[in-house]
C-alpha cells in the first residue's frame, strides 16, 4: 500500500486518521517507542514524493512544522485519547490490549472507529462537563467589556475567547489523564504545590508532604503563618475517572483532622465525589476539589503548565489625545 491508497487531504498528504493503522502497526512491533522517532519513521514509510515529505505549514506559528509528521502526531494523540495507545512516560508510548485487538479485528480504522471507543466517549463527556461548568460560573473578569471593542471587532474577540477556552479545556483534560497515570507520591506533591501557588502558605508559612509510613490519613500540611497557628491539612486521592470518592473516605479524613485538632481540611481527587460524600464534607466543613476543578486551578495558577502564546489587543489611549 502506498500513500496514494490512503485518504488524502487537499494538499495530497494523508489525513491523520488515514495514518492511524500505520501508527498502531508500528506500535504493535515495539514494546515501547518514542513519539518523535515514530513521527519520522512512519512519515518516511509513506514514500511520499520529496516535495510532499518536506512540506510545512505556511500559517503563522507553523513555519517549521512538517505536515506529514504532524499528521502522525495527531494520530498518536487521538489513539491515546481513545485508549488504543498509552503514554508510559514522557514522550514514550505503548499499544494497549484494546489497540492490539482492534488492529487484529478490523481492516479499516478511521476517525469514526477511534471516536466511538469508550475512552474517547469519556474524554468528550469530560469536555462537555467543563463547558457546562464554565457557562454556569462565568466570571465577570472573563467577559468582554462594552468599551473594549467596536461592534465590528467584538465578534472577533468573542470567537478568540471561545477558541482559547476550547483549547485550554483540551489541555486540562489531557493534564488530568497524565496525573492519573502518575504515581501517588507525585500527586501528593502536586496538590501541595497547587495550594501554595494559590496563596494558602502565606508569606511566612511552610508546606510539606507527609511521610508515607506515618501520615495518619494526612498527605500534606500547610502552615499559613510562621508559628503554625493556622494550618490546612490535605488529603489526595488519585483515583480513576470511574472510581468516585465515597462517604467512608470523608469520614476517615474527618477523623484524621480531629486527631490533629484541626478544623479545616481539603480533599483533592482526580475523579469525583458521590452525593453522600458531598453531603458529609459540607457537614464537616471539608473543602472538596474534583479532577475537573483541580486541572482548571492548575491552568489558572500555572502549575504543571506554561503559557504557549500570548496576544496583545490595543485600543486608543484617549488621554494621550486629550493632553
Per-residue pLDDT tens digits for 278-297 = 999 999 999 999 999 999 99
Among the listed residues 196, 239, 235, 200, the one whose alpha carbon sits nearest the alpha carbon of residue 219: 235
Same domain, 112 and 142: no
Final residue in a domain of this structure, among 71, 96, 116: 116
pLDDT at 161 (0 to 100)? 80
pLDDT at 59 (0 to 100)? 57
Same domain, 206 and 259: yes
pLDDT at 313 (0 to 100)? 77
| Residues 230-233: contacts with CB under 8 Å, at least 24 apart | 231/260, 231/262, 231/264, 232/195, 232/200, 232/264, 232/265, 232/266, 233/257, 233/260, 233/262, 233/264, 233/265, 233/266
pLDDT at 111 (0 to 100)? 94
Compute the average pLDDT of residues 164-172.
89
C-alpha cell at 36: 518523535
Q: Has residue 295 been placed in a domain?
A: no
pTM of the model: 0.76
The string of pLDDT tens digits covering residues 20-77 is 999 999 999 999 999 888 899 999 999 999 999 999 987 555 558 899 999 999 999 9
pLDDT at 209 (0 to 100)? 95
Q: Has residue 305 been placed in a domain?
A: no
Identify the domain containing residue 135 by its residue range: 125-181
Q: What is the CATH number of the domain that holds 266?
A: 3.40.1350.10
Same domain, 13 and 81: yes
Q: Three-state SS for 34?
A: strand
Phi, psi of 222 (to 5 degrees): -125, 115
Q: Has residue 142 been placed in a domain?
A: yes
Q: Has residue 251 been placed in a domain?
A: yes
Same domain, 155 and 203: no
The string of pLDDT tens digits covering residues 124-158 is 999 999 989 888 776 544 555 555 556 666 777 77
Q: How many domains does the chain have?
A: 3
In angstroms, the CA 135 to CA 251 distance is 32
Same domain, 250 and 146: no
Compute the average pLDDT of residues 169-184.
91
Q: Percentage of residues in the chain with pLDDT exceeding 70?
A: 92
The string of pLDDT tens digits covering residues 74-115 is 999 999 999 999 998 888 999 999 999 999 998 889 999 999
Q: Has residue 322 been placed in a domain?
A: no
Same domain, 176 and 188: no
Same domain, 25 and 91: yes
The string of pLDDT tens digits covering residues 245-262 is 999 999 999 999 999 998
The string of pLDDT tens digits covering residues 219-245 is 999 999 888 888 999 999 999 888 999
Q: What is the CATH number of the domain that holds 18?
A: 1.10.10.10
pLDDT at 323 (0 to 100)? 66
Final residue in a domain of this structure, among 116, 146, 166: 116
Q: Has residue 314 been placed in a domain?
A: no
pLDDT at 114 (0 to 100)? 96
How would you list the strands of the sheet with 220-223, edge to edge?
206-209, 220-223, 231-237, 265-269, 286-289
Same domain, 175 and 199: no
pLDDT at 141 (0 to 100)? 44
Q: Has residue 310 been placed in a domain?
A: no
Same domain, 81 and 66: yes
Same domain, 91 and 166: no
Final residue in a domain of this structure, among 91, 116, 141: 116
Q: State the average pLDDT for the chain.
A: 88
Same domain, 40 and 87: yes
Q: Has residue 313 been placed in a domain?
A: no
Same domain, 45 and 147: no
CB distance 284 to 254 below 8 Å: yes
Amino acid at each position: 500500500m502506498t500513500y496514494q491508497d490512503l485518504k488524502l487531504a487537499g494538499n495530497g498528504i494523508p489525513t491523520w486518521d488515514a495514518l492511524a493503522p500505520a501508527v498502531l502497526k508500528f506500535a504493535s512491533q515495539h514494546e515501547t517507542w518514542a513519539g518523535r522517532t515514530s513521527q519520522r519513521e512512519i512519515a518516511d514509510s509513506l514514500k511520499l514524493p520529496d516535495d510532499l515529505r518536506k512540506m510545512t505549514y505556511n500559517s503563522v506559528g507553523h513555519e517549521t512544522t512538517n505536515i506529514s509528521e504532524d499528521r502522525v502526531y495527531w494520530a498518536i494523540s487521538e489513539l491515546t485519547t481513545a485508549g488504543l495507545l498509552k503514554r508510559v512516560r514522557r514522550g514514550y508510548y505503548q499499544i494497549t490490549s484494546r489497540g492490539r485487538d482492534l488492529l487484529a479485528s478490523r481492516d479499516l480504522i478511521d476517525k469514526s472507529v477511534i471516536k466511538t471507543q469508550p475512552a474517547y466517549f469519556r474524554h468528550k463527556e469530560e469536555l462537555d462537563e467543563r463547558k457546562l461548568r464554565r457557562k454556569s460560573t462565568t466570571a465577570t473578569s472573563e467577559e468582554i467589556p462594552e468599551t473594549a471593542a467596536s461592534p465590528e471587532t467584538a465578534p472577533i474577540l468573542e470567537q478568540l475567547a471561545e477558541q482559547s477556552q476550547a483549547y485550554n479545556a483540551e489541555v486540562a483534560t489531557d493534564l488530568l489523564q497524565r496525573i492519573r497515570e502518575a504515581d501517588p507520591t507525585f500527586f501528593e506533591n502536586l496538590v501541595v504545590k497547587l495550594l501554595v501557588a494559590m496563596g494558602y502558605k502565606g508569606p511566612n508559612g511552610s508546606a510539606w508532604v507527609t511521610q508515607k509510613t506515618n501520615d495518619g490519613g494526612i498527605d500534606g500540611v500547610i502552615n499559613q503563618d510562621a508559628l503554625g497557628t493556622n494550618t490546612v491539612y490535605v488529603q489526595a486521592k488519585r483515583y480513576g475517572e470511574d472510581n468516585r470518592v465515597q462517604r467512608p473516605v470523608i469520614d476517615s479524613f474527618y477523623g484524621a483532622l480531629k486527631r490533629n485538632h484541626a478544623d479545616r481540611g481539603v480533599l483533592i481527587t482526580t475523579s469525583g465525589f458521590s452525593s453522600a460524600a458531598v453531603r458529609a464534607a459540607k457537614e464537616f466543613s471539608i473543602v472538596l476539589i474534583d479532577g475537573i476543578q483541580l486541572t482548571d486551578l492548575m491552568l489558572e495558577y500555572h502549575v504543571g503548565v506554561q503559557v504557549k502564546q500570548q496576544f496583545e489587543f490595543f485600543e486608543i489611549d484617549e488621554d494621550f489625545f486629550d493632553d
